[in-house]
């Protein structure tokens, strides 16, 4: 296949894509509408588009094809026609480490600044090593699954029998190459849950007790609820979200996982839900808040290019607003688990500060989970304990 052919496809898709849908969904639709593209065309176009966005806003004065060649060189250890065509002198370094490759690119293109890959001057949460974080955008994250410890060997055996390279991270966690078609290689979907490593780690902050009543207040399709349930199956559970279609997915996932005892409500938590919730009191509340998702942009690098900084403020308003509404339904001495998949301080430590200053909540612990060192997402989790049982009027 000639390089011009690949370039045309790349340029066409780039022109067509405005960052409205996630890139993987856009590509899915695009390929469906462009049936003349064979599987090899699709594979190369996907690789190029993802490489391109992983460069974020670095070297933005260069033309798109030069930028693509540099990005593809940084992101892959196999050659492509684009690299060979635009950067033939770098071909021999394709197998070098990412640190060496960055040094090579810097030497050749003096305007290259790694901090322009993630070009938001919004302050980052405590503990992030910027160099490692920025570098991580050139490496595709792994796919993580959570498996019951009693089933892990069976799952590993099935994966290996199908030629999938598996890393055993813990007694319940496996890391697999991204893009592994799990439904084709594991015969029973009940054996595993797809859940990022850092997301699994948030569970160490939950601490549910037998017969507790917990509320997963922004449950979406139920990832955190399933984690909570794996830690303590004998709990009562309320799940809610503003989006009904997510709750439909949740019901399917719960059924598959054998989670039968739960209550479900579609609710907008920025509204007054006293009519529905007035008699509820929880032993624990999970608030996995809507957020910028900046800790997950290693999976959606198009956001490095299209995300607009002003949106962080909107998310912060949502996070504070929702937290203010849920905290009144928490019992004294019980935890509110506040989580985001953001690396921005404004959505993390600053929201925690707001909560401790404005509500009867005391911070027990918080952590920025640095997933980028493990080819995983980065997340933030805080455990806040309710001090007084008297409800604070969230509508005040």
Which residues are designated catalytic?
341
393 is in an annotated binding site: no
Q: Cα dihedral angle (108, 114, 117, 118), rounded to 10 degrees?
A: -170
Contact 334, 279 (CB under 8 A): no
Listed in sequence order, the residues at least 6 apart from 6 whose beta carbon sits closer than 8 Å to its beta carbon are 41, 44, 45, 48, 80, 81, 82
Closer residue to ligand SAM, CB minimum distance, 90 or 337: 337
Distances (CA, A) of 209 to 213, 217, 292: 9, 18, 32
Closer residue to ligand SAM, CB minimum distance, 6 or 199: 199
62 CB-contact burial (10 Å; exposed 0-12 / middle 13-18 / buried 19+): middle
CA distance 256 to 167: 25
Place of tokens 């909107």: 314
Q: Quote the least distance from Cβ 212 to ligand SAM, whole Å.
A: 18
Closer residue to ligand SAM, CB minimum distance, 67 or 253: 253
Closer residue to ligand SAM, CB minimum distance, 70 or 326: 326
Closer residue to ligand SAM, CB minimum distance, 13 or 376: 376
Q: Quote the least distance from Cβ 237 to ligand SAM, whole Å.
A: 13
Contact 337, 287 (CB under 8 A): yes
Which letter, b or e, does each residue of 125-145 get, where b requires 16 or more Cβ atoms within 10 Å of its Cβ?
beebeeeebbbbbbebbbbbb
Instruction: Tell me the residue number closest to ligand SAM, measured at CB.
Output: 223
CA distance 256 to 247: 14
268 is in an annotated binding site: yes
Q: Quote the least distance from Cβ 316 to ligand SAM, whole Å.
A: 13
What is the contact surface with ligand SAM in residues (CB under 6 A)?
218-221, 223-224, 241-243, 246, 267-270, 288, 290, 318, 322
Measured CA angle at 301 (ends 296, 303), to 5 deg: 85
Q: Quote the least distance from Cβ 366 to ligand SAM, whole Å.
A: 17
Q: Quote the least distance from Cβ 242 to ligand SAM, whole Å.
A: 4
Q: Which two tokens stand for residue 106?
A: 């810097």
Closer residue to ligand SAM, CB minimum distance, 154 or 242: 242
Q: Which two tokens stand for residue 270?
A: 């920025």
Annotated binding site for S-adenosyl-L-methionine: 241, 268, 288
């Amino acid at each position: 296949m000639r390089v011009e052919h690949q370039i045309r496809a790349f340029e066409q898709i780039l022109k067509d894509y405005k960052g409205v849908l996630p890139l993987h969904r856009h590509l899915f639709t695009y390929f469906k509408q462009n049936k003349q593209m064979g599987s090899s065309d699709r594979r190369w176009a996907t690789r190029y588009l993802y490489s391109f966005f992983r460069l974020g806003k670095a070297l933005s004065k260069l033309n798109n094809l030069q930028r693509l060649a540099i990005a593809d060189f940084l992101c892959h250890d196999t050659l492509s026609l684009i690299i060979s065509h635009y950067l033939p002198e770098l071909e021999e370094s394709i197998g070098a480490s990412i640190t060496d490759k960055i040094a090579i690119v810097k030497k050749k293109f003096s305007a290259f600044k790694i901090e322009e890959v993630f070009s938001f001057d919004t302050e980052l949460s405590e503990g992030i090593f910027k160099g490692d974080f920025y570098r991580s955008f050139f490496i595709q994250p792994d796919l993580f699954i959570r498996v019951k410890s009693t089933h892990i060997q069976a799952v590993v055996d099935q994966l290996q029998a199908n030629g999938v390279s598996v890393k055993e991270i813990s007694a319940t966690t496996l890391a697999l190459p991204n893009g592994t078609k799990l439904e084709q290689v594991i015969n029973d979907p009940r054996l595993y849950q797809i859940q990022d490593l850092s997301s699994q780690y948030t569970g160490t902050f939950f601490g549910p007790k037998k017969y507790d009543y917990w509320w997963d207040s922004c449950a979406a399709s139920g990832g955190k609820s399933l984690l909570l349930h794996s830690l303590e199956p004998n709990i009562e559970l309320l799940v809610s979200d503003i989006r009904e279609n997510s709750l439909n997915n949740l019901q399917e996932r719960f059924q598959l996982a054998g989670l039968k005892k739960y209550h479900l409500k579609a609710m907008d938590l920025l509204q007054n839900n006293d009519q529905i919730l007035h008699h509820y009191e929880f032993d624990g509340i999970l608030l996995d808040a809507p957020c910028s998702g900046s800790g997950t942009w290693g999976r959606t690098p198009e956001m490095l290019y299209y995300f607009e900084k002003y949106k962080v403020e909107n998310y912060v308003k949502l996070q504070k607003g929702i937290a203010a509404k849920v905290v009144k339904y928490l019992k004294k001495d019980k935890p509110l688990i506040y989580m985001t998949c953001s690396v921005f301080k404004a959505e993390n430590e600053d929201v925690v500060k707001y909560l401790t200053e404005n509500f009867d909540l005391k911070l027990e612990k918080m952590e920025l989970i640095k997933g980028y060192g493990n080819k995983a997402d980065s997340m933030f989790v805080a455990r806040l304990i309710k001090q007084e049982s008297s409800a604070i009027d969230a509508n005040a």
